[in-house]
Structure 1
Amino acid sequence: MKAVILAAGEGTRMRPLTAARPKVMLPLANRPMLEHVIEACIKVGIKDFVVVTGYKEETIRDYFGDGKRWGIHIDHVTQEKQLGTANAIGCAREYVNGRFVQLNGDMLVDPTHLEKLIQHNEPAVISVKAVENPSEFGVIVTEADKVVRIIEKPLDPPVKTVNAGIYLFDTTIFEYIDRTALSPRNEYEITDSMQMMVNDGIHVGFEPLTHVWLDVGRPWDMLDANKALLEKIKPKCEGTVEPMATLHGDVIIGEGTIVRNGAYIIGPVVIGKNCDIGPNCFIRPSTSIGNNVHIGNGVEVKNCVIMDYTKIGHLTYIGDSVVGYGCNFGAGTKVANLRHDGKSIKSIIKGKRVDTGRRKLGVIMGDDVHTGINTSINVGVVIENGSGTRPGEVLMQ
């Protein structure tokens, strides 16, 4: 059994976070989300992987190499142009000679589901999930133990069962990939390939997904995924905690990190290597702090993803935010994270305002952003890489 993991896309909806790296290399609980996918597969005994790369693929290849660090083997194959899921899976055909699991590198999946999936014997099996908003997904119509129809994002969905983007295939799929035509989105869609299999009378099975499944498609989805992963951590301290610091719950502290007196940390929280935390700061649950991060005096951080080499100056507040690499918060920077009128927060994706559906969301900050002292940032603001603010500036969306 092999796993083919698609990791070729940029993740344009995740901009500016993906300006310097592919989406699958964004950190969740201080490790790339692709690593969490690989580890879920390892837990069910899969040791051979094909990772399909494309956008800024060197970051993936440099980090994972041939997989020896995890006791596995990884083949990397390039998708020259991002022409859809069928095209991406087709790139792996030379590395596959039997059944294989196919996953996307930007999702969280429970190993329990993979264990059930690989028990199937059909030529193709699709993972399905019941959701309240099926029109945003590919809808899967089933009958008895097989799939009878796949409908991409219908306006009036006949059922609430959707495609979870996790499959089991044998090599029959490649024949149908070769026959797949361009979709209206100008891509070769694996769901079109599978619909042809159904039309030809091939038994396409399905496996309901009842465990954790999170598709990280938008920047704020990282907060949900990060929280889900942190809920599973076990406390560990490889750094130094001064005697007047307080740690509650499950907290991981990396090698070379110092937590200074007066720091108050409520887990689950993970803090990376060589960080300087405090004194007198408050780190609240569901926060991951990368390597070489400085959090100063009087800082409060809550439910955030803070990436490597970021510095958060004293008297700063950040909540429900995703902060890129190498940012610097001037003293007294405040990030609003709750609309006071009770409505859901809007943010920007690909230049358009979208409803996040969230009542709490702070800032989405790219890499190397610097804020002047006493900067105020309103809810849902997106800040591009390399930007800066003046002292006392107010940022509105």
Structure 2
Amino acid sequence: MFGVIMAGGQGSRLYPLTANRPKPMVEVIGRPVIEYVKDAMVDAGVSNIIVTTGYKGDMLEELVDGWCSEESQLESSVNQESTPMGTAGSVRLLLDQLQDTFIVGSGDSVLSCDLKKLVERHKTSNAKVTMALWEVENPSEFGIVGLSEQQSGEVDGSLEEGYVVRFKEKPKAEEAFSNVINAGLYIIEPEALALVPEGE
């Protein structure tokens, strides 16, 4: 299975930590945060990881090259973006390589869910895209998600899973319709990725 780790952001809100390194290289408990994402993907069965980079991508390339060894049997590579494409756009560039179910993760998040179980749930539900969500007390710093039992239904704040019917990026307190956020982790079928317009 392929995994894609998005690591192109500049991390301006983490400055000065990101003055000399990309955000995924900021250390958490002595390791670059991107290492936690890689480990979770490998534990879930990923054998080939592509890291999409932008800002200071050369530093990430050095790290990613070190992931490959005979012991790990992990293949890894870097796809340097010349122009920032955003989440869907950077992954869309890899469409030719992503021919089966694949995982996309944000390179600046510490994963604390059982990714293997999430992949299993994705497959048994026959979903085209599964998005990991996280509940927080104060959603004003995140992109919030509204879920419904039906594809075009109303937001129901009591649901733990369902159809994503609404998004709001960094809402003010009075705009927040949910305290469930996008955790920056997706399991995707290639046919869903093909729906993303080329170049966007």
TM surpasses 0.5? yes
**Given the alignment of the two structures, is residue 153 of structure 1 paired with residue 158 of structure 2, yes or no?**
no
Secondary structure at 1:106 match in 2: coil
Q: Name 1:52's counterpart in structure 2.
A: 52
Give the Å deviation of 1:27. Answer: 2.2
Partner of 2:132: 127
Displacement of 1:111: 5.1
CA distance in 1, matches of 2:64, 2:170: 34
AA matched with 2:98: V
**1:135 is paired with a residue of what secondary structure?**
helix
- Measured against aligned partners, the alpha-carbon deviations of 1:18-69 in whole angstroms (never above 9, x if no partner) come to 2222111122232221112101111222211111012111111112217323
Larger strand percent: 1
Contact 2:52 2:90 in 1 (8 A): yes
Would you say the 8 A contact 1:126–1:166 is kept in 2? yes
3-state SS of the aligned residue for 2:96? helix
Q: Deviations over 1:137-185 (max 9, x none)?
A: 22211122322222333331222222111111111233332179xxxxx
2:46 partner amino acid: I
5 Å-filtered alignment, 1:159-238, equals 159-178=178-197
Cα 1:20–1:135 shift into 2, 3 Å? closer
Percent identity over the alignment is 31
Describe the SS at the equivalent of 2:117: helix
CA positional deviation for 1:110: 2.5
The one-letter code matched in structure 2 to 1:115 is K
Distance between the aligned counterparts of 1:179 and 1:87, measured in 2? 7
Q: In structure 2, what residue type is equivalent to 1:130?
A: E
Tell whether the 8 Å contact from 1:3 to 1:41 is kept in structure 2 after alignment: yes
Larger Rg: 1
Which runs of 5 or more structure 1 residues have no equivalent in the other structure? Answer: 181-187, 189-397
Q: Deviations for 1:229-265, whole angstroms, at most 9, x for unmatched residues? A: xxxxxxxxxxxxxxxxxxxxxxxxxxxxxxxxxxxxx
Q: Which runs of 4+ in 1 moved over 3 A?
A: none
Matched with 1:86 is 88
Q: Secondary structure at the match of 1:93?
A: coil
Distance 1:135 1:5 in 2: 25
* Secondary structure of the corresponding residue to residue 24 of structure 1: helix
- The equivalent residue for 1:37 is 37
Distance 2:36 2:179 in 1: 28
**Alignment RMSD (CA, Å):** 2.1
Higher relative contact order (CA 8 A, sep 6+): 2
What is the total number of aligned residue pairs between the two structures?
Answer: 180
Structure 2: any 5+ residue segments left out of the alignment?
Answer: 150-161
Bigger shift: residues 65-74 or 103-112: 65-74
Corresponding residue of 2:156: none
Distance 1:50 1:66 in 2: 13
Q: Do the aligned partners of 1:44 and 1:111 also contact (CA within 8 Å) in 2? A: no
Looking at structure 1, the residues matched to 31 and 197 of structure 2 have their Cα atoms a distance apart, in angstroms, of 36
Residues 89 and 198, structure 2, Cα contact 8 Å, conserved in 1: no
The one-letter code matched in structure 2 to 1:171 is P
Deviation at 1:77, TM superposition (A): 0.9
Give the distance between the partners of 2:96 and 2:77, measured in 1 at CA: 11
Q: Could you tell me how far 1:136 is from its partner in structure 2?
A: 2.8
CA contact (8 A) 1:67 1:74 kept: yes
What do the CA deviations read for 1:68-100 (whole angstroms, capped 9, x no partner)? 234301121111122322222223223211111
Give the direction of change, closer, same or farther, for the CA distance of 1:160–1:50 in structure 2 (3 Å limit).
Answer: same
